[in-house]
Each structure stands twice: as C-alpha cells, then as structure tokens.
A and B are shown apart, each in its own frame.
Chain A
Amino acid sequence: EIVLTQSPDTLSLSPGERATLSCRASQSVSSSYLAWYQQKPGQAPRLVIYDASTRATGIPDRFSGSGSGTEFSLTIRGLEPEDFAVYYCQQYSSSPQTFGQGTKVEI
C-alpha cells in the first residue's frame, strides 16, 4: 500500500500569510491521482483539490495544488480565518486508497 507522509504536523501562521503543506508518497502516485481535504472540528472532510491540482467546486482560488510522482503540495495564499483547519492528502491511484496523517494549520 502507498503510505502518505504529510509535513509538517502543525503549521502555525497568521491570517494573510501563505501556507505550504507537503505530502510525500512511498511510491509514485500514477496519473497524479491525489486529493486534498479540509476538515474543521466536528465537521466532515471537504474536498479542496483533486487530480493533484484541480480545485473542487466552490473552493476559492487562493488554494492551489501541485506535484507529481511522489511529491505533492497544497498552497494557501493569503490565509483567511476560515482556512484554519486540518488538511489531509489522499491517493486514489492504487488500492487501498490511503490518507496522510494530516497537517493542522493553526493560528
């Protein structure tokens, strides 16, 4: 199974700053089948990015994804108060689909 390792575990930033989250895969993720989800306390995850770089419906353009192979990243340009949450990466190129352990973006 593909193991996804996210870094850092916690990112402490202020509103307006840029956040860069990393997701490293133990094997190549084919077709860039990688997604990012945002989860706030007590809520279900919300799709942010799929296919490594495509924003989901309703996601503002301050969110961007990039990468291929084994290295992927999520960038949030100009953090808004509502962006502080836990972010998970997920690969769906091979079974079982796996998630990273999460990165908490905190104020």
Chain B
Amino acid sequence: QVQLVESGGGVVQPGGSLRLSCAASGFTFSTFGMHWVRQAPGKGLEWVGFIRYDEMNKYYADSVKGRFTISRDNSKNTLYLQMNSLSAEDTAVYYCARVGREFWTASYFDYWGQGTLVTVSS
C-alpha cells in the first residue's frame, strides 16, 4: 500500500535551516509528482511547493520562494524540502503529498504523509 513517511522536523532558531525528508513506498515513485503542504498550529492548509516526477519543473508558494528548495532522489524513493532563513511564520506541520495522477502536474493529492512538526523559536 502507498506510504509516505516524513522526517526531519524539530526545533530550529530563527534564521536557521532544516531539511525534511519524505520516504515513499508502495508505488512507482519516479512517475508521480509530489507536493509539500504545511499547516500552522490551529490554522488551515497552505500549499508550499511541487516537484515534477522527473524534477523538470518545480513551483513554490510566494511565501517560501527563494528560501525553500524541493528536490527528490528517485533511486531512493525520497522527497526533500530544504528550508533556509526560517522564521516564526514557518512554524507548522509539514506534509508531503502525492499527486493523484501519474505524470500530471495539476492534480489533487490522493495520499498524504502523517506530517512532521517544524518549530522555529529561539
């Protein structure tokens, strides 16, 4: 069955960096685009960014552009989110999510990880 497992969250000081990972299993990772979505405590869902199945395209929300970088290693079935210049506004649970259609960019998210909490605080 499809599984997405995030890791790498924790407490980081303002201005610091953190790299999140999302280990995928149960499907052909190299044929599905992947997204990162975050949720601040007690708030709604915010799309963070997307990477195409072959890494040819990446898109980011304006709120993270220039600070966050999404990458993937299809040989390891793993998605990454490198987060730099973190601020308190980046405090959230970060979810990885799979697009619902193989090879598509614009799609709903059919599977989500359980999320990993990132807390930016001094």
Contacts and interface: CB of A to CB of B under 8 A. Distances in A.
Contact of B47 (A39, A99, A100): A99
A47 B47 contact: no
A35 B59 contact: no
A88 interface: yes
B89 interface: no
Interface residues of B, number: 21
Interface in B78-103: 95, 100
A84 to B, nearest CB: 18
Central interface residue in A43, A44, A47, by most chain B CB within 10 Å: A44
Majority-rule SS of A interface residues: loop
A96 B59 contact: yes
A66 interface: no
B37 to A, nearest CB: 8
A93 B113 CA distance: 23
Interface of B: 35, 44-47, 50, 59, 61-62, 95, 100, 106-115
